[in-house]
A and B are shown apart, each in its own frame.
Chain A
Amino acid sequence: MNTWGTRRRRRSTIVGVGLAVASLTTLAACGGSSDSASGEGDPEAFSFLINSENTNIPPVLESLAADQCSAENDALPLEIETIPQTQLDQQLQLLAGQDALPVSFAAGNTPELVKTLDEAGQLLDFDETLTDLGVIDDISPAAISTIETLYGGFNVLPYQYNIEGFWYNTELFDELGIAVPTTWDEMVDAAEQLDAAGVQPFSASGEQGWPLTRLVSGYLFRELGPDALQAVADGDAALTDPEYVGGAQAVADLGEQGWFGQGLGSIDYDTAVNTFMSGDAGMLYMGSWVLSNFSDEDLNKIGNDSIGYFPFPDVEGGAGSAEQTPANVGLPMTFSAKQYNSEVGDWLTCISENWGAAALEVQDMVSGFTVNSDVELDPLTREVSDQVAAADSSVLWFEALFGAQATNVGQTNAASFVSGNTSAEDFMSTVQSALDSE
């Protein structure tokens, strides 16, 4: 009997332990990380994670993979994965926490996140790597300087080098006898004339928010000078100061007239650009990356010949000037330090040597890479390219010096205050509170 009891106990123990091990094995299989995620620098593909809104960069990379970089692509095939821009930051944080970032990726919505990733050793040092690869001269020094100012080091690539300003429908302006605005008041007059003619004066994406907050920063840079937002970031001024609220109020006044159209908060990026390209809106504030949208003949109903550019106008009596052009490298793209190996290095070399020309050819996109072959440019792209070359000094954008929380709060509340649901004062106070809590 004892023997039977002992056997039974043993069998129970074996079953129990067996089940526990099985459970643990299952859990380990569910939660474990594979070797490819451990950052050993042995990627199976040239994985590239980018925000789905960016339709400029993937076609250039695909074109390189098929043409100039086909050998590199055979060794390490390009695999593009997209994610909505609003979910990019959390995805990067989760992947970085597990050392599982892809080979290359969009480096986040805020310079602060780029700096955090860099400090954690996740980003490739391009100064050192490109020098080692012998292609550092393929990047324009002005672009490197802009990157170092914004991101604290040469840790992202200037796939785009953008200036921002207003794009306007030249045909409509000519038809209505509107002169190209050089001051804010002239722009308001132009909007009034367009509105009176039954044309929506401005097109903007309230869903994205940033096209609206950049109008606020543009106004503040022109009125208070190019250091207006640096003073806020340094704590020497607050967004709730009357002169700052005044900047937001000037933009809210445009919204109050209904000049951004109906349902501003629901308008996404593509809709905003398409509204302008279909001739339904007179002006669009956007970066020069929009040139690639303009080059799509199916969507651009008004045609490139009917599109002109003017910089953010002066505010009369203000301390800034229209020559201080908002410039940036778009949503920056970078490489993982953990996934880097010689095959990735080959890709990087090929990209550095060919990106400048390919970006112009494939997407009419001005980049911070040198153009190593002759490319024929359409007049509008040429104008922007010249403007980039001629820009004496640059300014940043509304959230450039803010952290993730203030950036998110600013962008999600922008449509509300421009639509008149909240006041300009409340908007600035909400963003300032977010800044204070960072």
Chain B
Amino acid sequence: MERVLGDRKAVLVLLGPAMLVYTLVMMIPVLVSLGYSLFDGNAITGFSYVGVDNLTRLWGDEQVHQSLVFTIKYALVLTTTQVALGYGLALLYVFVLKRASSLIRTLLFFPIVLPTVAVALMFQKFFEIAPNTGPVNEMLLALGSEPMDFFGSGMSAFWVIILMDLWRSAGFYAVLLYTGLVDIPEDVMESARMEGASTFQMIRHIIIPLSMPVLLSSLIFSINGTLKVFDSIVALTNGGPGTETAPLTLYMFRTSFSYGDYGYGASIALLLTILSLLFTIFVFRSARRDVTEA
């Protein structure tokens, strides 16, 4: 085996096709997209070179500012809540429910396999005010409150999106983190217990540090997924009311394909790529520091 892997040609034959496919389907489109940001036009009209005009336009575009703020707010709130809730559930599975957790795990994991559009339609109906009154507004009415147009203001629409995505994804993160927690050696836990460590001390000094790698992966998964959110918002609010819940991805999509401005759309994509990269580096760095401290 060592001889085979030591042979450069063998490595090339084994990795070559995969690298070729990866380059063709990932790297070339990324580079082409980067190139588009230097051009103006679309597939119908053709392209003309505009240099860095599209990139400088990003700074003065109020819609970019609004979408950027929304994207970051959405990513931070959802990442924090879904990983925290997922971690809480994982702790519940391992330390409380133990072997009996499989049914709960399956039930909570179930929403992630449902089609996003179906889930969005369900939440639209839950929070509907007209033409029919949805269950949430029915509840408000039963409690004597006025019904509320949840999709009529940016703030309430934002929280409905968060609630929906949290419902969809918490079970997934719970399973992901559960796999990290079950790997913690039982003897370490046992000896800590015998030393008289409290539950809080166990979580603080043993469970969190030892599950840090999977926690870190979850955070990176989550931050990158939430920064690139598209389908759930399009299906639930389509960026509305107005453009108050429009993330960068939706603005990028509209700019490229509705407004026919591929170059500026590619510039927004570049901004999103840089944002994802910065967040990933930030998460990596902070996690490295934490592990050292622990």
Contacts and interface: CB of A to CB of B under 8 A. Distances in A.
Contacts of A262: 129-130, 147, 149
23 contacts: A19-B16, A20-B20, A24-B20, A27-B24, A90-B257, A93-B43, A94-B257, A98-B43, A265-B152, A266-B124, A266-B128, A267-B131, A405-B258, A408-B254, A408-B258, A408-B259, A412-B238, A412-B239, A412-B240, A412-B242, A412-B243, A416-B244, A419-B149
Given A265-B241, A266-B128, A415-B240, 5 more contacts: A263-B129, A264-B130, A408-B259, A416-B242, A421-B242
Interface stretch (B6-14, B95-103, B176-184, B266-274): B6-14
Contact of A263 (B9, B12, B20, B152): B152
Contacts of B130: 261-264, 266-267, 271
Given A9-B9, A96-B43, A97-B44, A263 B16 contact: no
B158 interface: no
A422 interface: yes
Contacts of A422: 242
B259 A116 contact: no
Contacts of B80: none
A413 B147 contact: no
Interface residues on B, range: 35 or more
Interface in B6-61: 9-10, 12-13, 16-17, 20-21, 24-25, 42-45, 61
A404 interface: yes
Most A C-beta atoms less than 10 A away, residue of B129, B153, B242, B254:
B242
Interface of A: 9, 12, 15-16, 19-20, 22-24, 27, 86, 89-90, 93-94, 96-98, 113, 116-117, 119-120, 122, 261-267, 271, 274-275, 403-405, 408-409, 412-413, 415-416, 419, 421-422, 430, 433, 437
Contact of A97 (B25, B43, B131, B244): B43
Nearest to A403: B259
Contacts of B61: 437
Nearest to A420: B152
Interface string B151-171: 111100000000000000000
A261 B129 CA distance: 10
A404 B254 CA distance: 10
Contacts of A96: 43-44
B158 to A, nearest CB: 13
A15 B17 CA distance: 10
Most A C-beta atoms less than 10 A away, residue of B17, B21, B244:
B17
B260 A265 contact: no
A404 B258 contact: yes
B259 A415 contact: no
B62 interface: yes
B260 A23 contact: no
B149 A405 contact: no
A210 to B, nearest CB: 14
